[in-house]
Amino acid sequence: MLKQLLFICLCFQTFGAKAQVRLDNKEVYKITYGSSFNGKNREHQNKIWVFAGAAQTLVTSEKDFTQKSPYPFELSIIDRKKNEQQLLAFLGEQNLVAATDTSLRSQQFEFSNETKTILGYTCKKAKAIVKSNTMELWYTDQLPVKGAPTVLGQNLGLVLEMTRNGNSSITAEKIEKQKLQLPAFMKIPARQTDLLSYRDEIWKSRFTTIPLFTNQVINFSDTNKSTGDVLRFASGTVVVKKIKMPVIDSGSSAFLDLSEQSNGDAYDRTGTVFLIPGDKKQSFLDGLKNGIAALPVYTNGNGKNYQGVVATPDYSPMIELMRFFTPFGIKQFNQNAIKGKQWQEAVPYRQDITDFIPLLNNKEVYVGVFIGNYDKGGHRITANITVHNGGPDQLRQHIVPLFNTLNAMEMAGQEYGTMFNNENGVTVHFTLANSLKNVRLRYITTGHGGWGGGDEFVPKLNTILLDGKIVFSMIPWRQDCGTYRLYNPASGNFNNGLSSSDLSRSNWCPGTVTNPFLIELGDLTAGEHTIQVKIPQGKPEGTSFSAWNVSGVLLAD
């Protein structure tokens, strides 16, 4: 994690694109600052050290100055003659990046006649409003130096106390004289860059990014074959890639990012990012490579065969990392001008997938993306996984995929999720070799049937039973779809003033992620169990029919 922003006032010499800190070896005042909240000292907080001299002031932390802090951390230099801030980010042992920020010049303060004594020095009060925070600074001019524990108030005098919103304070605890030597790690040359790029480098150094797909087209075309490390299936509507995941430290979080633009398709489409388990004899990859006949068939008595949708002793269905829906024609159809509407250029989707770290940690995995469409241009996506420090201390170690009725091989003949037209719905029998503690079902559900009487537009009760007992019953329904109007330039507009993208739907909106439900199941004993999903699926009208895409994964200690 980046350390608290620290500030240095030093000489700074530039050599072309490189820059290096210079420090005069003169006697300085060393001020040690501690922090408190509501009057209680934060004993475990890192001390801030300020070395204030007549010509320069170095502000750092005790850990950073003694190089006991891990990378990255950030410092800055205040050039008093130019009245600007030189920012320094230490990203690694030989990786220092620098940029200049002139926002110091715009600091404004409200001064008062109040005074108080800190460490024997009479201090005056100044107040500033910074990003809606009230900052009170107590500074003295009884010493021949200036400085502060942050960039705020560097030119007031020597700031000995700073309080934010009346409760969080940084206060000087000790002032002493000494000579200062610049630590060796601060003498490496810095790469000079612009402020925006500097902040971007710092931000990206905080976490690890694993690229999945970059500007990948997902379209319907028999001529588009697999290229490089990207495998294409179902006439190009499914892309799959083998990803080598790094070691993920304990206490980390993982997120999935995906951005989408229309590359020709004007319609809202079902999308999914999925992981293909390889824990059993058969996998969804067999169906992708060899056709839907290679997948085990599920039947529920309604006369249809559903390929690869439920777990068997020899097969695990694909695990859904993210369910998303494309909007109506974003980017490709932005020329559809409507007064007062400024269309967005891409849809950003982002979802927490920390629950699945045990399946990702230091492993090679197959990750795929499906977007259902029949358009030669289709859609264009970029997707990444990011790993961040600061996650849960203990992850759920047992992950059991049970069912997934989303027909990612739709364009290769996989049956739609129409199994909810009788009382059996989806029924999965599974066996646990060992008892599991604190079990949750991660359940994703969306209803489809895009006409007035279809289940896309008709609220339907979802009921889940575990071993014959109801554990979940609710109507999944989204009423916020109008929020995403600016993602939908090709959406139809009706005579009543509504857009198609405004309409409420069965747990999805054009241009959004569908969040999973986490259903508490308690402890499960070893042995056989049954889980059943029931939905009163609507009847077909002519050639139109309803379907439900549901997926479920057990997460347990």
281 token code pair: 């004899």
- CATH number for the domain spanning 430: value is 2.60.120.1570
Please give the average per-residue pLDDT across 163-170, as a whole number: 96
d(CA 21, CA 27): 18
- Whether 125 is covered by a domain: the verdict is yes
- Whether 70 is covered by a domain: the verdict is yes
> Among the three residues 140, 170, 201, which one is the final residue of a domain in this structure?
201
pLDDT range class, residue 97, cuts 50, 70, 90: very high
> Among the three residues 201, 234, 249, which one is the final residue of a domain in this structure?
201
- Whether 391 is covered by a domain: the verdict is yes
Residues 289 and 169 reside in one and the same domain: no
What is the reported pTM?
Answer: 0.89
Domain total of the chain:
2
Residues 452 and 409 reside in one and the same domain: yes
Residues 226 and 89 reside in one and the same domain: no
Strand partners, 325: 270
Does 318 score more than 80 pLDDT? yes
- Whether 3 is covered by a domain: the verdict is no
Helices (H) and strands (E) in the chain, counts: 4, 36
Bond from prior residue into 459 cis (ω within 30 degrees of 0): no
Residues 428 and 547 reside in one and the same domain: yes
Please give the average per-residue pLDDT across 472-488, as a whole number: 98
Residues 341 and 243 reside in one and the same domain: yes
Please give the average per-residue pLDDT across 386-395, as a whole number: 83
pLDDT range class, residue 19, cuts 50, 70, 90: low
228 token code pair: 């490089």
Residues 397 and 522 reside in one and the same domain: yes
Residues 358 and 415 reside in one and the same domain: yes
244 token code pair: 């080598």
pLDDT tens by residue, 184-242: 777 788 899 999 999 999 999 999 999 999 999 999 997 777 788 999 999 999 999 99
pLDDT tens by residue, 255-288: 999 999 999 999 999 999 999 999 999 999 999 9
Range of the domain at 260: 206-556
Residues 371 and 488 reside in one and the same domain: yes
Q: Which of 76, 104, 80, 102 is nearest to 88 (CA)?
A: 76
Please give the average per-residue pLDDT across 426-449, as a whole number: 97
Residues 194 and 159 reside in one and the same domain: yes
Residues 410 and 437 reside in one and the same domain: yes
- Whether 2 is covered by a domain: the verdict is no
Contacts of residue 512, defined as CB under 8 A and 6 or more positions apart, other chains included, come to: 324, 325, 349, 478, 481, 484
Please give the average per-residue pLDDT across 349-375, as a whole number: 96
Cβ(549)–Cβ(323) below 8 Å: yes
- pLDDT at position 5: 40
Does 454 score more than 70 pLDDT? yes
Residues 227 and 305 reside in one and the same domain: yes
> Among the three residues 158, 175, 201, which one is the final residue of a domain in this structure?
201
| SS3 category, 367 | strand
Burial 39-62 (b: 16+ CB within 10 A, else e): eeeeeeebebbbbbbeebbbbbbe
- Whether 327 is covered by a domain: the verdict is yes
Does 114 score more than 70 pLDDT? yes
- pLDDT at position 220: 96
Cβ(126)–Cβ(139) below 8 Å: yes
Residues 69 and 113 reside in one and the same domain: yes
pLDDT range class, residue 24, cuts 50, 70, 90: low
- Whether 92 is covered by a domain: the verdict is yes
- Whether 499 is covered by a domain: the verdict is yes
pLDDT range class, residue 4, cuts 50, 70, 90: very low
Q: Tokens 């554990």 label which residue?
A: 471
